[in-house]
Structure 1
């Protein structure tokens, strides 16, 4: 039998070696300020249904431009100042160019072959180039002018036949139809098929923005299964995949007899056949790009229109000023060109102010640190998830006077823009992962709103006053109004 003293000596030796190997770093990390967290769930108990509000409240209590929280076992950096956002999306943009690898997203977003979710690298660069060149370039936006005009005419005709207009629903249908025609070559909004299509899209955004326990606390995956989340994600992903497969298959069958305007499906099939881009554009990649084009261009665009019109109805003086400008510039014209739109300085200021107060995705799409890095002097560890609270940045009282007030006039003599160069206003993000569809979305928004202000006078229904207008937000990936926007339109004769 080995003497006990030898056993103890051996154990002490092992412990000494282990300590040498796993000796903690003598350099103490300078971590961002953090709110107290609970075991297992971290700070999840402090997060409400409206994420941007919860994060803003927590950050304000910490008093720092960045804050480290723990969503379950996921360390998450919350960015709440323009300077910190600049360090993330400009100074260290390449180090924060990746997206989180979330299981639910992988199934919904075509194995991360979408531009919005693809890992940073050669495939992402080529896919983004295809999207921009063949769908989102200024040349393509101009080529889509006829489609926008035809869909605007349909909207105007519907308004003329309505007593009370559900603007929230109308904006969704309009953006849906424009994007579907540009992407797929046809609309999917009418009849029973239209109802199913809209339901599928609603559910897609619901599960995409839903709480996924497995992503935050892996051993709680059983909770997601128990509450039916996994099953719903699988069903929605399957339905979307079947729809996209059907679109591609139908186009392949009909290519020999197709004529007229080329849409995005045609372009992708042509690129696949020519195979000149250096990256394999297989069926899954085609479906991913179609999904990206459609989903990124509908709800966010409709949300901007909804909040813009809401703010105008809530502020009658701003509404009248915008209408007066539109009617002066258009001067009785029935057809409006892009040069006319470019001359609507106040209308553009209205959109900027709306995007400041109501960015469509207030916390943007999350990023991930690909290596250890410093941000605002704090140590950020590789793998840390990053949430940029664009909503909080755009309401920073250190930057904006009367930060919570709707005042479009602030942008009439202000060079700050929303296209990613000015970090005080980043509703579409910035840097490599900034939204490439800003010009497409704003062309759609500006043309519709200008026409609605030109051809109709607007007021709230049932004698409601602007103070009665419900401004509450509905939780989701995109933040829309909780209560649909209704209004009465009075046609104007010229």
Structure 2
């Protein structure tokens, strides 16, 4: 027997022994405790084989059989999947503190500077401090409003481009244009300037950001069977390290440029704000370069594809339902008129547009499976034992289709919100696209501002026609899973300018 084969068999035996010991110890510690119902799994892999390319749909189907609080074993990791508003309220409100932490994942380790970012940092004093900094210093209403002229400028450039395309009656790739707009707005807020596609790496700025997000969303066997993590069987760790190096070099350059900058009159971007706290013994935040780089990446990932994905789905639903589009345009004509473009001050008066966006969030949540929570201690919910270290996944996509919460749940019907107080801010658990509780998204207000403004402007300024005489009911609405879930195929449409000026 060769030494390589002997080494392989040694690993197999050690992994098997580790698995048997872990299962034995787990069964002893949780003996006679009632776990939530769930499907049977295989040794080592548990229920991983039941999850395909669209795991939110797979988990929804399983929950219909096993219930809204469902137990799975993903590899060696116990997992709880939550699929109803009532169950979500138990985990995110009644027992919020117990589930306020995050599990240690390979992606967070390699891409997020050992979980120093806000989204994946474990619950504790460090997370509380950076959450406070992000909420008060980076994402406050005052800071969001300071970027209002920039948002208007960037959106104006997009409208001008589409207006020129409308003269030639050519189809516009709205998916690509909205994605670029979102990236430009995000970069100007975070870095103070836009970046050309090749500024980050030869692959392109947005491509590298998307690769990092894709790697973060890809199920990693090492997260579920830790003893095989060093083998990197999928090659994910190698790719994460390469992407992390690209990010790190780029962020170092950005921080150096900001440190050396002498322009004191410009609007402070996010890097400027964070640098003002770096190394200061008086600051309660006490952050260093690695913290800043982790938070920079968090802000980019949390603002670029998230807003673009919601805008893309809202426009898709409006084109698929032209009668709804006409109602939105009629409201815009009444509130804004056809002599000017939409201003941010108009947004609160657009009630029907708000209903359209709520319905979009319900059917196409930003992240169909929220980032995983981790139980910090044993807990009992609805009579079920939730073990310490369980990974809790809230299936927001399934909650948006719960027949006990929504009539005719598969139908796009904004009017369901007429006279309803349900909103998206985390208080109503049948609609939680931004999460809820301690780990709710701190950038919600910024995201809502961008989404409402862009959708309103594109619908107000243009009529839209699908290309090649495609009928609205023929529009492909297939989705593609990731941290966000965008359209699988780009949204193409032919614009006609509507305004009188």
- Asked if Structure 1 and Structure 2 have the same fold, meaning a TM-score greater than 0.5 normalized by the shorter chain, the answer is yes
Q: Deviations over 1:422-441 (max 9, x none)?
A: 01111111000000111101
Secondary structure, aligned partner of 1:76? strand
Aligned: 1:42 with 2:40: no
**Most deviating of 214-223 and 288-297:** 214-223
Deviation sequence 1:237-268 (CA, Å, 0-9, x none): 111111111110111122x3453211111111
1:6 is matched with which residue?
Answer: none
Instruction: Write the mapping of 1:41-440 to structure 2, written as runs, cut at 5 A.
Output: 41-62=45-66, 64-162=67-165, 163-190=170-197, 196-221=204-229, 224-225=232-233, 227-254=234-261, 256-272=262-278, 274-440=280-446
Give the deviation of 1:360 after TM superposition: 1.3
Deviations 1:144-165 (A, max 9, x none): 1101100110110111222211
Counterpart contact for 1:473–1:479, Cα < 8 Å: yes
Match of 2:469 in 1: 463
Report the CA distance between 1:222 and its aligned residue.
6.0
**Contact 2:434 2:440 (C-alpha < 8 Å) held by counterparts:** yes
- Unaligned 5+ segments in structure 1 are 1-20
- Farther off after superposition, 286-295 or 310-319: 286-295
> CA contact under 8 A between 1:126 and 1:277: conserved in structure 2?
no
- Aligned equivalents of 1:36, 1:67: Cα separation in 2: 12
Give the conservation status (yes or no) of the 8 Å contact 1:213–1:223. Answer: no
Q: What is the CA-CA distance between 1:24 and the residue it aligns to?
A: 4.8
Q: Which moved more, 1:349-358 or 1:188-197?
A: 188-197
Q: How much has 1:455 moved relative to structure 2?
A: 1.0
Compare 154-163 and 427-436 and name the one that shifted more.
154-163
C-alpha distance in structure 2 between counterparts of 1:132 and 1:240, whole Å: 24
Residue 106 of structure 1 and its aligned partner are, at CA, apart by 0.9
Q: 1:22 and 1:136, CA in 2 relative to 1: closer, same or farther beyond 3 A?
A: closer
Displacement of 1:493: 3.6
Partner SS, residue 304 of structure 1: helix
Alignment partners' CA distance in 1, 2:146 and 2:348: 17
Distance 1:315 1:23, change over 3 A: closer
Using the alignment, how far apart are the partners of 2:100 and 2:73 within structure 1? 21
Note the alpha carbon deviations across 1:42-92, whole angstroms, 9 max, x for none: 111111111110100111111x22000011111100001111111111111
User: 1:191, 1:143 → 2: CA distance?
Assistant: 28
- Cα deviation for residue 275 of structure 1 reads 3.9
Deviation at 1:228, TM superposition (A): 2.5
Task: Give the drift of 1:359.
Answer: 0.3
Q: For residues 204-260 of structure 1, what are the alpha-carbon distances to aligned partners after superposition, in whole Å with 9 as ceiling and x for unaligned?
A: 1111111211111224336634x4222101101111111111110111122x34532
Structure 1 CA distance for aligned equivalents of residues 429 and 362 of structure 2 = 11
Which residues in structure 2 correspond to 1:463-482 (within 5 Å)? 463-482=469-488
Deviation at 1:192, TM superposition (A): 6.5
Structure 2 gaps of 5+ residues are 1-24
| Change beyond 3 A, Cα 1:273–1:258 | farther
SS in 2 for 1:112: coil
Q: CA deviation at 1:39?
A: 1.3
Query: Aligned equivalents of 1:71 and 1:144: distance in 2?
Result: 43
Q: Which moved more, 1:185-194 or 1:328-337?
A: 185-194
3-state SS of 2:37 partner: coil
In 2: Cα distance, 1:96 partner to 1:127 partner = 19
Cα contact 2:467–2:492 (8 A) shared by 1: yes
Q: TM-score of the superposition, structure 2-length normalised?
A: 0.91
Q: How well do the aligned residues superpose, as a CA RMSD in angstroms? A: 1.9
Contact 1:97 1:432 in 2 (8 A): yes
8 Å CA contact retained: 2:339, 2:499: no
Whole-angstrom CA distance in 1 between matches of 2:120 and 2:438: 12
Q: Taking structure 1 as reference, are residues 192 and 274 closer, same or farther at Cα in structure 2, changes over 3 Å only?
A: closer
Distance 2:391 2:442 in 1: 22
**SS of equivalent residue, structure 1 residue 272:** coil
Contact 2:425–2:434, Cα closer than 8 Å, also in 1: yes
Number of residue equivalences: 471
The aligned residue for residue 10 of structure 2 is: none
Asked if structure 1 preserves the Cα contact closer than 8 Å seen for 2:340 and 2:499, the reply is: no
Aligned-partner Cα distance in 2 for 1:74–1:349: 39
Whether the 8 Å CA contact 1:456–1:492 is kept in 2: the answer is: yes
Moved more, 482-491 or 155-164: 155-164
Structure 2 Cα separation of the partners of residues 191 and 392 of structure 1: 39
For 2:283 and 2:499, the matched residues in 1 are separated by 53
Task: Indicate if the aligned counterparts of 1:345 and 1:412 stay in contact, CA closer than 8 A.
Answer: no
